[in-house]
C-alpha cells in the first residue's frame, strides 16, 4: 500500500491545482461531471490492472470498445426493445474476447503482447468489414441514459463506476486476488504452490474484456457512435495503471492505485485544457509527465526493484 501512496498525493495535488484555476471545480455538480467523464477510463484501467498484475498485457481493449459500440449501434438501430438484450450481448462479447485472449496466451503460450495485438487487428478489421467501413445504426435513448443520464443528482456512470471499483477491490482482497498477484510475481513458484496459473490469468483477461464492455456502454452513451471511440484507449489504460505504481511484468501494485492513476490522467487532461495548452501540445506534455512519473516511481525504490527482478 505504501507504494501506492505517491499517486494519491499527485492526484490530490492536481485536483487542488484545477480548483485554484476553476473554483467551481470542487463543487458537487462540476466534480461529478469530472468523475463521469473519467469513468470509462477508470473502469478500463481497473480491468487492465488485473491483466498487468498477473504479468500480461491487454492491447485489445481499445478496439474492443470500438467494436462493442459499433455492434450495439448496428443491432439496436434506435429501437427501445432491443436495448437490454444487446446490453447482455455486449457483456457476453467482452467476456468471450477476454476468454479467447486468455486461452491463446496461457494454453498456446503466445506472448500476450502478440495475442492481444492480433486480437486488435482482428476486431478492428472484422467490425468494419461487417459494417462496410463506416458505423451505421443508432443507439436507443435507454442505452444512452447509462452514459449521460443520472439518478437524482448522481450520474448513472458514477454509480456504475462505484460498483466496479468496489467489486475490483473485493476481488483483489479475496483469494483470487492473492493468487493473481502470486502468478504475476513468479508464475513457477505460484504453480508449484498449487495456483492454477493458466486459469487465473484467463479470468484476468475476461475481467479486462468485461471492463471494456462496460466502458463501451458508458462511452457509447456519453460520446456517441463513431469509429474512433476506442482509439488509443489501450495505451491510456496501460499508462494509467503504470502511473498508479503497478509494475509492468506483474506481481506488484494495488487496484485502487491503478484507478487513481486513471483519475490522475483525466485530471491532467482537464488541467492542460484549463491552462489553454492546445490539443496539439497536449500529447507532448502528457508524454513528458508520464515518463517523469514512472521514472520517479522507479528511482524511489531501486533496491526493491533490483531484488525483485533477479
Partner 1 sequence: MTQQLKLRPVPAGGSLIRRLSADRPARPVYVALALLVVLGWLVFALDGGAFLSQENIVGIQQRSAALGIVAVGQTLVILAGSLDLSVAYLISLTSLVTAEIMAGSDTGVPVAVAAALAVSALTGLVNGLIVTRLRVHAFIATLGVALVIRGALDARYDGPAGSVPESFQHLGYDRIGPLPVSALLWAAVAAGAWLLLSRTRLGYRIYAVGGDTEVARLSGVRTERVVVAAHVLCSVCAGIAGLLLASRLGAGAPTVGTDGGYDLESIAAVVLGGTALAGGRGGVAGTVGGVLLLAVLDSIFNQLEVNSFAKDVVRGVILVAALAIYARRRRTR
Q: Which residues bind partner 1 (CB under 8 A)?
A: 57, 104, 108-111, 113-115, 117-122, 124-126, 128-129, 133, 235, 238-239, 242, 248-249, 278-288, 290-291, 294-295, 298-299, 302, 305, 309-310
The β-bridge partners of 150 are 155
Cβ neighbours of residue 286 closer than 8 Å, sequence gap 6 or more: 265, 268, 269, 272
Q: With respect to partner 1, which residue has the nearer C-beta, 5 or 291?
A: 291
Q: With respect to partner 1, which residue has the nearer C-beta, 59 or 160?
A: 59
Q: With respect to partner 1, which residue has the nearer C-beta, 1 or 280?
A: 280
Closest separation in Å from C-beta 302 to partner 1:
7
- The grid coordinates listed for 62 are 481499445
d(CA 86, CA 198): 30
Closest separation in Å from C-beta 261 to partner 1:
12
Q: Which of 183, 310, 171, 191 is nearest to 254 (CA)?
A: 171
Closest separation in Å from C-beta 149 to partner 1:
34
DSSP H helices in 55-196: 61-76, 83-106, 112-131, 141-148, 156-173, 175-185, 187-192
Q: With respect to partner 1, which residue has the nearer C-beta, 92 or 298?
A: 298
Q: Calculate ∠ Cα 221-222-227, nearest 5°.
A: 80
Cβ–Cβ < 8 Å for 91, 210: yes
Q: With respect to partner 1, which residue has the nearer C-beta, 84 or 130?
A: 130
Amino acid at each position: 500500500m505504501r507504494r501506492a501512496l505517491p499517486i494519491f498525493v499527485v492526484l490530490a495535488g492536481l485536483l487542488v491545482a484545477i480548483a485554484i484555476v476553476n473554483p467551481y471545480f470542487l463543487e458537487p455538480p462540476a466534480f461529478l461531471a469530472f468523475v463521469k467523464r473519467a469513468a470509462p477510463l477508470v473502469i478500463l484501467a481497473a480491468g487492465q490492472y488485473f491483466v498487468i498484475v498477473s504479468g500480461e498485457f491487454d492491447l485489445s481493449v481499445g478496439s474492443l470498445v470500438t467494436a462493442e459500440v459499433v455492434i450495439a449501434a448496428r443491432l439496436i438501430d434506435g429501437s427501445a426493445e432491443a436495448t437490454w438484450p444487446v446490453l447482455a450481448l455486449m457483456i457476453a462479447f467482452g467476456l468471450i474476447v477476454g476468454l479467447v485472449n486468455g486461452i491463446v496466451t496461457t494454453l498456446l503460450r503466445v506472448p500476450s503482447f502478440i495475442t492481444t495485438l492480433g486480437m486488435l487487428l482482428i476486431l478492428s478489421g472484422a467490425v468494419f468489414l461487417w459494417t462496410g467501413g463506416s458505423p451505421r445504426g443508432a443507439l436507443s435513448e435507454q442505452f444512452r441514459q447509462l452514459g449521460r443520464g443520472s439518478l437524482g443528482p448522481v450520474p448513472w456512470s458514477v454509480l456504475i463506476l462505484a460498483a466496479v471499483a468496489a467489486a475490483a477491490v473485493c476481488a483483489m482482497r479475496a483469494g483470487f486476488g492473492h493468487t493473481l498477484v502470486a502468478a504475476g510475481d513468479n508464475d513457477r513458484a505460484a504453480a508449484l504452490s498449487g495456483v492454477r496459473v493458466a486459469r487465473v490469468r484467463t479470468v484476468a483477461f475476461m475481467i479486462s474484456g468485461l471492463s471494456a464492455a462496460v466502458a463501451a456502454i458508458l462511452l457509447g452513451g456519453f460520446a456517441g457512435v463513431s469509429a474512433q471511440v476506442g482509439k488509443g484507449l489501450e495505451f491510456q489504460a496501460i499508462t494509467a495503471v503504470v502511473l498508479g505504481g503497478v509494475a509492468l511484468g506483474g506481481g506488484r501494485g494495488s487496484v485502487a492505485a491503478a484507478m487513481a492513476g486513471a483519475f490522475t490522467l483525466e485530471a491532467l487532461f482537464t488541467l492542460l485544457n484549463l491552462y489553454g495548452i492546445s490539443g496539439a501540445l497536449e500529447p507532448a506534455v502528457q508524454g513528458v509527465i508520464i515518463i517523469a512519473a514512472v521514472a520517479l516511481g522507479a528511482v524511489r525504490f531501486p533496491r526493491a526493484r533490483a531484488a525483485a527482478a533477479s
